[in-house]
Amino acid sequence: MTIGVTDSGIGGLTVLAALIKRRCGDDYLYLADGANLPYGDKRPERLREIALENARRLEREGANVIVFGCNTLSVTSLDYVRKRIKAPVFGLRPRPELLVGRAVLMTTPTTAEYLPKIEPNVSPLTPPKLASLIDADYPQLGRVKEYLSPLLVPYEGVESVYLGCSHYLYAEKIIAELLPDAKITDGVDALAAIVRAVLPVRGRKDPTVAFRFTGKSESERYARILTELIG
């Protein structure tokens, strides 16, 4: 079983790591679509084109299952792509219903347009530059902290934060430092659990991972980050 995962950059590696930990596949293809980074400011029509192109490429290269490691790609394009390729397609979708008390839901601007009804206790926050900053700088996140600090000041004392972008998981420690009272959650492990529950066979303990890039090739960096995420 070969699983193909795609995102605009390193964000989807968090999803790939979760899939590997749950032994979802025997082999993995990861497509980093740096040529179209970031996804979070693009219109839905363009994102659907990108999603279908990337899914078809992964399918051509041998993926039996496709996973969108990106909330923005999933909310705009998941159903569209499912109707157009043979392989099953899974994706991340924000779950604001998991938030309790005074809460913040962090997503990209485009993802925010597709959110279900938000309860009055939940404040949407859509930092437009965050994903790109993380992708460019990680593991050096000084600029990320400088960018986030003033944005999070109005939310001091919140009880929970949901990270609705896979890139944002890399800033979790910074967010926890700036909002120390908040429980921080995301949908990455839940997605991996769904994929594992659906697939018929448990994957290998030591799967192969191959990286593909539409922009600059950074295989060594991606492999290093993935190793860190798997632990």
Look at residue 97 in the predicted model and tell me its pLDDT: 86
List the structure tokens of 117. Answer: 């009804």
| Cα–Cα distance measured from residue 220 to residue 72, given in angstroms and rounded to the nearest whole number | 26
Burial of 210 (0-12, 13-18, 19+ CB in 10 A): middle
138-154 confidence digits (pLDDT tens):
999 999 999 999 999 99
Domains of the chain from N-terminus onward: 2-93+188-230 (3.40.50.1860), 96-186 (3.40.50.1860)
169-209 confidence digits (pLDDT tens):
999 999 999 999 999 999 999 999 999 999 988 888 889 99
Q: Which residue has the tokens 């962090």?
A: 106
